Amino acid sequence: METETILSVRDLDVKFTLRGQVLHAIRGISLDVHRGESLAIVGESGSGKSVFTKTFMGLLDSNGSVTAGEIRYNGQDLAGYTTDQQWRTIRGREIAMVMQDPMTSLNPLKTIGDQIEEAIVLHQGLKGAEAHAQVLKVLEEVGIDQPERRSKQYPHEFSGGMRQRVVIAIAVACRPKILICDEPTTALDVTIQAQILQLIKDLQKKYDLTTIYITHDLGVVANVADRIAVMYAGDIVEIGTCEEVFYDPKHPYTWALLSSLPQLGVKGEELYSIKGTPPNLFLEVKGDAFAPRNPHALKIDFVERPPYFEVSPTHKARTWLLDPRAPKVEPPEHIKHLREQGVNRHV
């Protein structure tokens, strides 16, 4: 696959200061985002997935900062941006974001039409009737009927799914190159979830967008992602194409995430759940951060942080289990045959 890198992150470190203590939220991530792909970043709450993507837009809370590494976009290093003026050239225009909860990301006091028009006036330079016509076009595009009437309504007159469509409309109206979707469907029903994912997919094709999905639910991204990055404790522990991560996962944490999906549960048996809690990032993490919760942990996991081992040119994982000297550990039985199982179970 020929790929062109649109965004390149190198050795990124993010730290937060809380009550005099330092929290090491992102611990040296390197990642290339390819133009036109859809990349999913998957991890538990607190794994740093949202913090990581917020650094692309300068949206970190004031007590957090990028302390090392670089984020290269269009020949610029975004990690060095400090002023709002600099960020304004990126936010919305180049990189836009769809937040999790459509209830809180819209202004309840302004009509839907006005909120979309604001983005259009600012980013497309249209005015008056032209801008208004564009609003209606955008609404239609995201699948909202009767755009003329709906554009005069307020957010509370919309259902959750419709509101998320509006948020997407605003993000896309800025004509960004990269669209970051932070848990775009977590607050929505399953049927609506499927529709919203389909909508984002359609828009991606139409506008040649690069999309980054952030989610805790591996089940959701099988349909939409080209590549999947699994995050744990501020680090990417495994990255590969969608097929590689689902059918041939290598990191024990990816195994655990897949195993805990209720879709794979067997009735009457206990559903797999990950033991213990994520590490305290106020303390320095020694060795592999997942080791204390990992039933397959080796001695070295507690001593030295594993490097990436390459499984294929597109697939790598940070686990000592892939070292040639490591004992051979097989992934859990029920995710080994995920593919056949998935097909059998649901048809």
Partner 1 sequence: MSEQRKKLLEVQDLQVTFGTHLHPFHAVKGVSFDIYEGETFGLVGESGSGKTTIGRAIIRINPVSGGQVLYRGERISGRISRELDRKVTRQIQMIFQDPMASLNERAKVDYIVSEGLYGRHIGEAERQEKVAKALADVGLLPEFASRFPHEFSGGQRQRIGIARSLIMDPDFIIADEPISALDVSIRAQVLNLMSQLQKERGLTYLFIAHDLSVVRFICDRIAVIHKGRLVELAESEELFAHPLHPYTRALLSAIPLPDPIAEKKKKLLVYDPSIHHYDQETPLWQEISPGHFLLASEREAAEWQREPSR
Q: Which two tokens stand for residue 202?
A: 């359609």
Decide: is 343 part of the binding site for partner 1 (CB under 8 A): yes
How many CB atoms are located within 10 Å of the residue 173 CB?
28
Binding segment for partner 1 (CB under 8 A), chosen from 114-122, 133-141, 241-249, 279-287, is 241-249
User: Whose Cβ is closer to partner 1: residue 19's or residue 267's?
Assistant: 267
Q: How far is the CB of 333 from partner 1 (least distance, A)?
A: 15
- Encode 316-339 in three state secondary structure: EECCHHHCCCCCCCCCCHHHHCHH
Decide: is 190 part of the binding site for partner 1 (CB under 8 A): yes
Helix (H, G, I), strand (E, B) or coil at 163: helix
Q: How far is the CB of 16 from partner 1 (least distance, A)?
A: 18
In angstroms, rounded to a whole number, what is the distance separating the alpha carbons of residues 93 and 249?
36
**Which x/- pattern over 270-309 shows residues binding partner 1 (rule: CB under 8 A)?**
xxxxx--x--------------------------------
Laid out side by side, the sheet with 21-34 consists of 21-34, 5-18, 64-73, 76-77
Q: Which two tokens stand for residue 16?
A: 């937060």
Binding segment for partner 1 (CB under 8 A), chosen from 60-68, 124-132, 192-200, 300-308, is 192-200
Decide: is 1 part of the binding site for partner 1 (CB under 8 A): no
**Which x/- pattern over 197-236 shows residues binding partner 1 (rule: CB under 8 A)?**
-x-----------------xxxxx-xx-x-----------
Decide: is 144 part of the binding site for partner 1 (CB under 8 A): no
Q: With CB under 8 A, what is the number of residues at the site for partner 1?
A: 47
In angstroms, rounded to a whole number, what is the distance separating the alpha carbons of residues 328 and 115?
56
Question: Do β-strands 235-241 and 309-312 pair in parallel, antiparallel, or remain unpaired?
Answer: unpaired
Decide: is 99 part of the binding site for partner 1 (CB under 8 A): no
Q: At what angle do helices 112-124 and 128-141 cross, to 10 degrees?
A: 110
Q: Which residues have a Cβ under 8 Å from the Cβ of 224 and sit 6 or more positions away?
A: 38, 40, 197, 200, 201, 211, 213
Decide: is 314 part of the binding site for partner 1 (CB under 8 A): no
Task: Note the residues at the interface with partner 1 (CB under 8 A).
Answer: 44-45, 159-160, 189-195, 198, 216-220, 222-223, 225, 242-243, 246-247, 256-258, 260-265, 267, 270-274, 277, 338-339, 341-343, 346-347
